[in-house]
Amino acid sequence: MIRRLVPLCLFAAAALILGALTPPTSAGGKDKKAPEIPPRTGTSETIHLFNGKNLDGWEGYEDLWSVKDGVIIAKSTKPINYSTYLLTKRKFSDFRLIFSAKLAQSEMHSGVGIWGKQFQTPPKYNNAKETVTDPKAERTEFTYQGQLVMFPTEWGLYDLYRRHGAINLSKEIRQLAKDAGKQHGWNDMEILAQGNRIRLAVNGKLVVDWRDPQPELVNEGPIGLQLHSNTVPQEMQFKGLVLTTFPEEKMTTVK
């Protein structure tokens, strides 16, 4: 059981000795033990979400998402008021996703949205009570509500348009990911999402093992690649994106 007051060095030692970190029992600093929802069962298949050539099987703004040399490129040259996503047309619950991502321009984090849904009417700026009424005009047709696995810069977890930062992990745990990751290089990652449990490996190191204390918020949904809202030009790149449905309960890239 990960406790927030355990020094960072003990986390690292445990990872080296045991090869894994056990899941924390709280979210957002609240002493609430998360229930242990077991992995769901279903047909296991391996799916190449990205064919390396085009964005077949995905949907998002075509002026922001493109493919070059086998890489998905998310790029903005003008301010983006709302984070936008490239979404899979298929929905998933339990899965393993192996991919690589690179922050090519700006210092803004990105992420992968899971267990959520396409969300076209988010609150207006600064989480105001008023919501967007014209998604096409406001360019919110491809926003996302759900759990976000963040990288790089702000490694951790976030709940988009629901609990916000309330599910984020402790600074010590997020530091493990920063130490394993690269700010502007390619990061090889594995997300294992089963039951209400999210595990993340970065460049061969297990850095996150967390259970959602509100399993009613875990739902089958599309995978969403994030291009974050920003006032400056930015570019994020993704490749690989091989997903296995209803996988074995183990991390395959942890060394």
Model pLDDT for residues 49-62, shown as the tens digit of each residue: 999 999 999 999 99
SS3 98: strand
Residue 126 pLDDT level (bands cut at 50, 70, 90): low
Sign of CA dihedral 113, 76, 119, 171: positive
pLDDT over 70 (residue 129): yes
What does pTM read for this prediction? 0.87
* Cβ-based neighbours of 75, under 8 Å, separated by 6 or more: 64, 66, 105, 227, 233, 234, 235, 236
Displacement of CA 108 from its chain's centroid (Å):
14
Most confidently modeled range among 10-24, 30-44, 76-90, 154-168? 76-90
In the chain, % of residues over pLDDT 90: 82
